[in-house]
Amino acid sequence: MVHESIGERFHEWMGSLGDGAIAVIAHKNGDMDTIASATVLASMIGPRARATGLHVDKTSSRMLSRTGMEFRRMDPRRPTLPRSIAGVVAVDAGGPSQLGFPLPVDAPLFVVDHHANSSDEWPAHAVAPQGEASSTCEMVLGILLRSNSAIQMAWAEMLYAGIVTDTGRFRHGSPSGLRAAARLLDECGIDTDDVLTTIEGSGMPADQRKRILRSMGGMEIHHCGGLLVTTAKGGSHESRIASSMVGSGADASIVAKTLDGGGLRITTRASQGAVRAGVDLGEVMSSMATTKGGQGGGHAGAAGWSGEVPTSEAFAYILASIGAQARGTDDE
């Protein structure tokens, strides 16, 4: 079954709410998994719900244009929610800091999230069911299957796109993701080739491809507990750089980006072999946030962190942690 147990909890929570608006809030990074989850849930709930958040990435923008799904992008300088709010649904965020702005203190809160680790915790009144999933879209599918609503084609395409991108085309958590994708195909008969074409866009401009190749050309290779781990500094497209390094033979990869407003963002990826050897990047990023400050979390094969430490210090901490998890020592 595809995470249908969360559906009962969600619909019970919905039934407990009073009158007023429902805000379905996406992760502040606005990737495909969170935008798909937010828009589909808001559409299923109906007119009183609105999908909203601080950011929408390019892949999500293409899928929103394709499907006609609605997402309200907040002004990051003045993020606002409706004054008369009955409840908040947070999607694809491991903790409140990952939404990017404070939530109303007393509003009923339901969390739909698949990450195993996070650097901060939801308030005590939050309803946050736990479950094994490789993407938040799989959990949203479980909620849809528990409702009386027929799955619309736009919903199915958005969820499929979220599953495909968040699993790295089924390289991470593939059994769970494949089962969910198969259910969507059975329900709606998605044209998968057409959706994948939309996800990929018209091709990456030459200047962006050059920046990615330069970042990979400057990578360094480290030996951590018997694993090969690469590090690189990327100006953009960190997730693509990190995935490309793993696809080229690294057991795990770490990519750092210096943010325009100050601070550092780290993106990490690990192969299934590294995960089987004991590597859990979500745990590493969550531990780093506890030790070094900032926010971090994710799941075993893909995780991230953002904060204020120097790049060399961040790399050293992560490399040492990966080496310890792999039951070895960093013999670099």
Task: Give, for all 332 residues of the chain, the pLDDT tens digit.
Answer: 455 578 889 999 999 998 899 999 999 989 999 999 999 999 999 999 999 999 999 899 999 999 999 999 999 888 988 888 999 999 998 889 889 999 988 899 999 998 766 667 899 999 988 777 889 999 999 999 988 778 999 999 999 999 998 887 887 666 888 889 999 998 888 888 889 888 887 666 677 677 777 777 788 999 998 999 999 987 667 887 888 888 888 999 999 998 877 889 999 999 888 988 999 998 999 999 999 999 888 878 888 898 999 999 999 999 999 999 987 544 44
| Among candidate residues 186, 168, 202, the one with its CA nearest the CA of residue 65 | 202
Superfamily of domain 5-200: inorganic pyrophosphatase (n-terminal core) (3.90.1640.10)
Q: In whole angstroms, how far apart are CA 161 and each of 36, 173, 272?
A: 8, 15, 22
What was the pLDDT predicted at 262? Answer: 82
Contact 103, 87 (CB under 8 A): no
pLDDT value, residue 224: 92
Which residue, 222, 216, 260, is CA-closest to 238?
Answer: 216
Q: Distance between CA atoms of 327 and 242, rounded to whole angstroms?
A: 23
Please give the pLDDT value at position 331. 43
pLDDT given for residue 1 in this prediction: 45
**Residue that is written with structure tokens 């070895």 in the block:** 328
* Selection from 322, 315, 320, 317 nearest residue 280 by Cα: 322
Name which of 300, 298, 296, 293 is nearest 275 in CA terms: 300
User: Which residues partner with 220 through β-bridges?
Assistant: 231
Backbone angles phi, psi at 227, to 5 degrees: -105, 150
Q: In angstroms, rounded to a whole number, what is the distance separating the alpha carbons of residues 94 and 103?
A: 14
Q: Which residues pair with 85 in a beta bridge?
A: 21
User: Would you state the pLDDT for residue 2?
Assistant: 52
At the second CATH level, the architecture of 207-325 is Roll (3.10)
Under DSSP, the state recorded for 296 is E
Location of each CATH 3.90.1640.10 domain in the chain: 5-200
Q: Where in the chain is the domain with CATH 3.10.310.20?
A: 207-325
| Composition of the chain by helix, strand, coil, percent to 5 | 45, 20, 40
Residue holding tokens 């990869």? 253
Tell me the CA distances in angstroms from 46 to 15, 23, 39, 49, 80, one per residue in order: 14, 11, 11, 6, 20
Q: Given the structure tokens 């993106």, which residue do they identify? A: 267
* Residue found by looking up tokens 């400050």 in the block: 293
Instruction: Determine phi and psi for 9, rounding to 5 degrees.
Output: -60, -40
Instruction: Kindly state the DSSP code that residue 330 receives in the 8-state scheme.
Output: B
Cβ-Cβ contacts under 8 Å for 123 (sequence gap 6 or more) = 96, 105, 109
Q: Which of 325, 307, 305 is nearest to 94 (CA)?
A: 305
Residue count of the chain: 332
Render 40-93 in DSSP notation, one character per residue.
Answer: HHHHHH-TTEEEEES---HHHHHHHHHH----EEPPTTS----SSEEEEEEES-
